[in-house]
Amino acid sequence: MNLDELRKTARAIVAEGKGILAADESFPTIKKRFDTIGVESTEETRRAYREMLFTTKGVSEFVSGVILFDETIRQSAGDGTPFPKLLEQQGIIPGIKVDKGAKALALCPGEKVTEGLDGLRERLEEYRGLGARFAKWRAVIAIGDGIPSETCIETNAHALARYAALCQEQGLVPIVEPEVLMDGDHTIERCYEVTFAVLRRVFADLADQRVEYEGMLLKPNMVLPGKDCPRQATPEEVAEATIRCFRHVVPAAVPGVLFLSGGQSDVQATLNLNAMNAMGSHPWEISFSYGRALQAPALRAWAGRPENVPAAQRAYSHRARMNSLARRGKYRPEMEEEAA
């Protein structure tokens, strides 16, 4: 493990004004996205869509890295340039999703554990050879009656820590993603309690597995009420609860926190990110690693038609620029009126 290299890559990913495009949708997820625009999900349509995103000119001003899927990291642009090389040519760092998905956790109804540790060392070695410089592993924690259980939290935290250690061994920056889901009618206070418990356990296990905090990044949920909660929170309330929670449990040695959007609308995710950065300086860089919240307008504009690529790229660039401004606490809703 070259800790200096890991630190350098981690800091580059959370460079000022920049964040990550999560383009690592699994086959079922991207099929759902394509279904909304009436496009069949095939290897070629997925490749064409990702090429549209990856060839958007000037987006490297706002996007530091892209998380790829196993299929995508092996694909190439129309001119034959492999996607990882295409990204690197623009100054964007290629990354890779390495988990095998969340599966039902035995004897824990309603809860899941992320699988994929078997053979991970060899997969990481291959991905690094294909151009990846960081990786991502997502754990999902649901809030409901009697859940999450300690078993669920402990099992997922241990898997995240083992994954992170293997990444650093192979020279890849691990992005650790423990997502407390928005599904449900729970309050923001309940989300705070669960997020606190999850992060505390995750960082304890990371320490046990000898993971170097300076060479990793955190991709968590924001502290939010459930999407069915009668009382939703303002961006200022989300920012206050999230930062207060994280100051208690996230070590200052971690270079950056890249929030997931987790079901928020694209504008809401930007507003909440902006509110956190507008509070002032924090021990870590406060950034974004958005999938749908960066892609949704571009996907609608593209609609699977080659002639729509310029409009789709403008939509993607606009969304990336809005989140870049939010990275600095300088976003204002009226900026959305500008041409995408």
CATH number at residue 58: 3.20.20.70
The pLDDT of residue 1: 81
The pLDDT of residue 45: 98
Instruction: Provide mean pLDDT across the span 303-332.
Output: 98
Instruction: Provide mean pLDDT across the span 90-106.
Output: 98
Residue 340 has pLDDT above 80, yes or no: no
Residue 339 has pLDDT above 90, yes or no: no
Using alpha carbons, select from 178, 262, 275, 274 the residue that is nearest to residue 225.
262
Whose tokens are 């809005």? That residue is 322
Instruction: Provide mean pLDDT across the span 217-243.
Output: 98
The pLDDT of residue 207: 98
- List, for residues 245-284, the tens digit of each pLDDT value: 999 999 999 999 999 999 999 999 999 999 999 999 999 9
Using alpha carbons, select from 94, 101, 103 the residue that is nearest to residue 135.
94
Bridge partners for 288 per DSSP = 259
Question: How many domains is the chain built from?
Answer: 1
The pLDDT of residue 337: 83
Query: What distance in Å separates the CA atoms of residue 229 and residue 269, rounded to the nearest whole number?
Result: 17
The pLDDT of residue 160: 99
The pLDDT of residue 327: 98
DSSP 84-98: HHHHHHTT-EEEEE-
Mean pLDDT rounded to a whole number for the chain: 97
- List, for residues 293-316, the tens digit of each pLDDT value: 999 999 999 999 999 999 999 999
Query: What distance in Å separates the CA atoms of residue 89 and residue 84, rounded to the nearest whole number?
Result: 9
Instruction: Provide mean pLDDT across the span 82-88.
Output: 98
Is the omega angle on the peptide bond into residue 310 within 30 degrees of 0, that is, cis? no
- List, for residues 113-146, the tens digit of each pLDDT value: 999 999 999 999 999 999 999 999 999 999 999 9
Residue 289 has pLDDT above 80, yes or no: yes
Q: Give the up-direction half-sphere exposure of residue 119: CA atoms within 13 A in the CB hemisphere.
A: 8
Residue 219 has pLDDT above 70, yes or no: yes
Catalytic residues: 177, 219
Whether the model pTM is above 0.95:
yes
Instruction: Provide mean pLDDT across the span 73-95.
Output: 98
Instruction: Provide mean pLDDT across the span 150-159.
Output: 98
Residue 292 has pLDDT above 50, yes or no: yes
Instruction: Provide mean pLDDT across the span 155-172.
Output: 98
DSSP 2-38: -HHHHHHHHHHHT-TT-EEEE----HHHHHHHHHTTT
Domain range holding 149?
3-337
Q: What pLDDT band is residue 338 in, cutting at 50, 70 and 90?
A: low
